[in-house]
Amino acid sequence: MDISGIQNLNNEITTKLLELIFYGRIPSNVSLEEVAENISKLGVWLTEKKYPKTPECKKIDRIIFIASAAKPGLPLELMQAVLKVLRRKGDIPVFGVLTKKDLCQEEEEELKQIEMNFKTTLGLSKLNYLNCTNYCDENIDEIQQRIKTHYPELDKPVHKFLIQVLDPVVQSIDFHTSPGSSKERVIELVYKMVATLKGIDNMHMLFMIAVILLIAIILALVFMRP
């Protein structure tokens, strides 16, 4: 699933959108822009109802974050949002690819710093990180020649990286379906309630919740009177 185009933000709308994507809760005929608008209008709580979990959910089992070394800055906010979602919901293996190092205009030391920031922000090790050159360029004739020719210096690092990505030993873990103690379940439930309340940015929804709580308190006081 290619989800390019998400803005470099680390807010509640972005994290909720990523959560719905990672855990397969967006129907195939719905655009990400439409989902983001619904999150903004409905708030996190109602979004959960609009995009429920279903048996047909196609969860993501690998995340490959691709960034360009040739661009002036890394999407650090979006990278942090990805990790925030994973800490909330589960553990999906994350891989990182830094492309176009051959087109990078920075000095070698600055390129190393870009690499360090990329790997540190996503928590990448040597096994789940690839720094590769730009395989294709703007010369159509050369691209056609490359189709018929092998370039080991370009191909081998990519092949090794794909072997790591496709390793069946690497698996994703969903905190909501994995076994756990009763204490862990209670902690998880409390965290989810707090996270949901924090995510509600719709004032009308907050007002409705306050009214419902007030009515519940009044009814409790009425029925508890001797």
What are the mean pLDDT values of the chain's consecutive 10-residue runs (226 residues total)?
80 89 83 86 82 74 88 87 82 88 74 88 89 64 61 80 86 59 50 47 61 79 67
One domain for residues 96 and 159: yes
- β-strand pairing of 63-68 with 94-99: parallel
Helices 76-89 and 12-22, packing angle to 10 deg: 60
Tally of domains in the chain: 2
| 5 inside domain | no
Asked if 24 and 60 touch (Cβ cutoff 8 Å), the reply is yes
One domain for residues 188 and 164: no
| 136 inside domain | yes
130 closest CA partner among 162, 103, 172, 102: 162
Q: Which domain holds residue 164?
A: 12-174
| 108 inside domain | yes
**pTM of this structure:** 0.65
**Phi, psi (rounded to 5 degrees) for 111:** -65, -40
